[in-house]
Chains A and B, each alone.
Chain A
Amino acid sequence: MKFTEEHEWLRAEDDVVVVGITEHATTQLGDIVFVELPEVGTTVVKDEEIVVIESVKAASDIMAPIDGEIVEVNTTLADNPALANEDALGAGWFFKIKPSDSSQMDGYMDEAAYNALIA
């Protein structure tokens, strides 16, 4: 698993990468009440804002961590956005992206480096 400074996690699964946000991020955001996800089939570029998260406190944007095509989104978040708080690293995933350049993953932190960042 890789982590970004924007508190996203990326997990490679076969030829796609699953993306969500970390427990640290969901704790900071507070109770999440709305998640707007990109449409399946959208081609996105790194650092493009593609997810909107609304918590009880504020709205935040999540950026595409890598270039690629959105191949699946977590539709259960539409009805149950709190899943992102309850299981940030598992059932609360946001989208799956098919990377156009998987070497972009290499620039991100491993778990130890991320834990040091948020410590």
Chain B
Amino acid sequence: MSDLLHTPLHQLHVALGAKMVPFAGYSMPVQYPMGVMQEHLHTRKKAGLFDVSHMGQVIIKGADYLAAATALEALIPVDIARLGRDRQRYGFFTNEAGGILDDLMLANRGDHIFMVVNAGCKAADITYLKANLDGFVVIEITDRALLALQGPAAEAVLSALDSKAANMRFMDVTSLSLLGTECWVSRSGYTGEDGYEISVPACQAEALAKELLAHEDVEPVGLGARDSLRLEAGLCLYGQDMDDGLNPVEASLSWAIQKVRRSNGARAAGFPGADIILTALETGTDRHRVGLKPEGRAPMRQGVPLFQSESDANQIGFITSGGFGPSVGGPVAMGIVADGLHQPGTVLYGELRGKRLPVTVTSLPFIPANFKR
């Protein structure tokens, strides 16, 4: 426990009464005194402030943006070269088997690429980038915190500090001056709500967090509600809803692979596992990630096996993430199910404590996204 890393907001979390837990090598707030349920509901109604400083922030630089983007396209099956200036895009590293090594956000910052990767994968990601981007500069940013301000009040709260925040659209990135400090800001998040992710110098992070929390609409929100918010929003968690054994098509992430990288596209293939992934895009796969709505009130969590009927012996899938959705007012889940059983409305059975309970395949998200497009 003693060798857990602290984020620049550690003292603030403790002062706010957070319950700290180990997560990806860091001591992180799982909840504050308000509790997971209220933190979740508050974020959907007003705004929540999350510390996501444990995530990896990486800068990739080449001769120019296009050079770095082109090199990165050899690792990531998305259109990076034509990503507009000051725009962000979702992507993932794939392996030779077509599986996903990590998922990420990358942004065109003009003369470089700014990338945010998962905390649990960041060491491996950076090693991988450095090994595969010979001649490019790969810098892990370790002197900045990352805050997420999420919820319908986020725009009003942040634009009070820099009015330019209000001009940003979903997935725009820019530098804002917040309390006199240059912050790298994207209009995005992991909750399904409008909001921002703010990269702030570590020495200014606590002051900025306190300023944001001083607004009556903003409450601190921990990892517990972050998980229930992203689950209701139908967003994947790496290591649960996708991993290196599942290709992007199986993970229902085909939307993230633009046409230009697919077969017959101008920059088709050229990334690890391209044969497998592009074939899967054309011919389909024998399993799919889907939304699942358990009947009744009992949550079905990660690992619950799924069956086609109350008595059939053959397992046809499993829950990858599940819990209680405070905004849904009942249990919600995602899982991997066999092809043919993945259409919304299909009733499956999850085996919970020896009993098979009905679960309905449901289109995602559970809560409509509230982005400013």
Contacts and interface: CB of A to CB of B under 8 A. Distances in A.
Contacts of B38: 31
B353 interface: yes
A42 B13 CA distance: 46
B21 to A, nearest CB: 10
Given A33-B297, A36-B298, A57 B353 contact: no
A114 interface: no
B298 A57 contact: no
Contact of B323 (A36, A56, A78, A81): A56
A90 interface: no
A30 B224 contact: yes
B299 A31 contact: no
B299 A33 contact: yes
B301 A57 contact: no
Contacts of A59: 299, 301
A73 interface: no
A34 interface: yes
A56 B297 contact: no
Interface stretch (B29-37, B49-57, B122-130, B266-274): B29-37
Interface in A44-62: 52, 54, 56-59
Given A56-B323, A56-B324, A57-B36, A34 B224 contact: no
A34 B228 contact: no
A34 B298 contact: yes
A31 B298 CA distance: 14
B326 interface: yes
A30 B32 CA distance: 11
Contacts of A36: 298, 353
Contact of B298 (A30, A54, A56, A58): A54
Interface residues of A, number: 13
B35 A31 contact: yes
A32 B13 CA distance: 24
A31 B36 contact: yes
A56 B36 contact: yes
A19 B224 CA distance: 29
B299 A34 contact: yes
A30 B35 contact: yes
A78 B36 contact: no
A52 B31 contact: no
Nearest to A57: B224
A33 B37 CA distance: 9
Interface in B74-130: none
24 contacts: A30-B31, A30-B35, A30-B37, A31-B36, A31-B37, A31-B38, A31-B324, A33-B37, A33-B297, A33-B331, A34-B297, A34-B324, A52-B298, A52-B353, A54-B298, A54-B299, A56-B35, A56-B36, A56-B37, A56-B228, A56-B326, A57-B36, A58-B301, A59-B301
Interface of B: 30-31, 35-38, 40, 224, 228, 297-299, 301, 323-324, 326, 331, 353
Given A33-B37, A34-B331, 16 more contacts: A31-B35, A31-B37, A31-B324, A33-B297, A33-B299, A33-B331, A34-B298, A34-B299, A34-B324, A54-B299, A56-B35, A56-B37, A56-B224, A56-B326, A59-B299, A78-B297
Interface of A: 30-31, 33-34, 36, 52, 54, 56-59, 78, 81
**Minimum-distance CB pairs A-B, first 3:** A31-B37, A33-B324, A56-B36
